[in-house]
Chains A and B, each alone.
Chain A
Amino acid sequence: NAGVTQTPKFQVLKTGQSMTLQCAQDMNHNSMYWYRQDPGMGLRLIYYSASEGTTDKGEVPNGYNVSRLNKREFSLRLESAAPSQTSVYFCASSWDSNQPQHFGDGTRLSIL
Chain B
Amino acid sequence: KNEVEQSPQNLTAQEGEFITINCSYSVGISALHWLQQHPGGGIVSLFMLSSGKKKHGRLIATINIQEKHSSLHITASHPRDSAVYICAVDSSNYQLIWGAGTKLIIKP
Q: Which residues of A contact B (CB under 8 A)?
A: 31, 33, 40-45, 48, 50, 56, 58-59, 88, 90, 92, 97-103, 105-106
Minimum Cβ distance to chain A for residue B47 (Å)? 8
Which residues from A are CB-within-8-Å of B4? 42
Which residues from B are CB-within-8-Å of A41? 100
Residues B48 and A100 in contact, CB atoms below 8 Å apart: yes
The interface residues of chain A, by DSSP majority, are classed as: loop
Residues A48 and B94 in contact, CB atoms below 8 Å apart: yes
Q: Of B45, B86, B94, which is within 8 A of A102 by CB?
A: B45
Residues B45 and A43 in contact, CB atoms below 8 Å apart: no
User: Can you name 6 A-B pairs with beta carbons within 8 Å?
Assistant: A31-B94, A48-B95, A99-B48, A100-B33, A100-B48, A101-B33
| B30 close to A (CB within 8 Å) | yes
Q: Provided the pairs A40-B100, A98-B90, A100-B48 are in contact, do residues A45 and B95 lie with their beta carbons within 8 angstroms? A: yes
Which residues from B are CB-within-8-Å of A101? 33, 45, 96
CA of A44 to CA of B86, assembled, Å: 13
Residues A42 and B45 in contact, CB atoms below 8 Å apart: no
Residues B95 and A42 in contact, CB atoms below 8 Å apart: no
CA of A90 to CA of B86, assembled, Å: 15
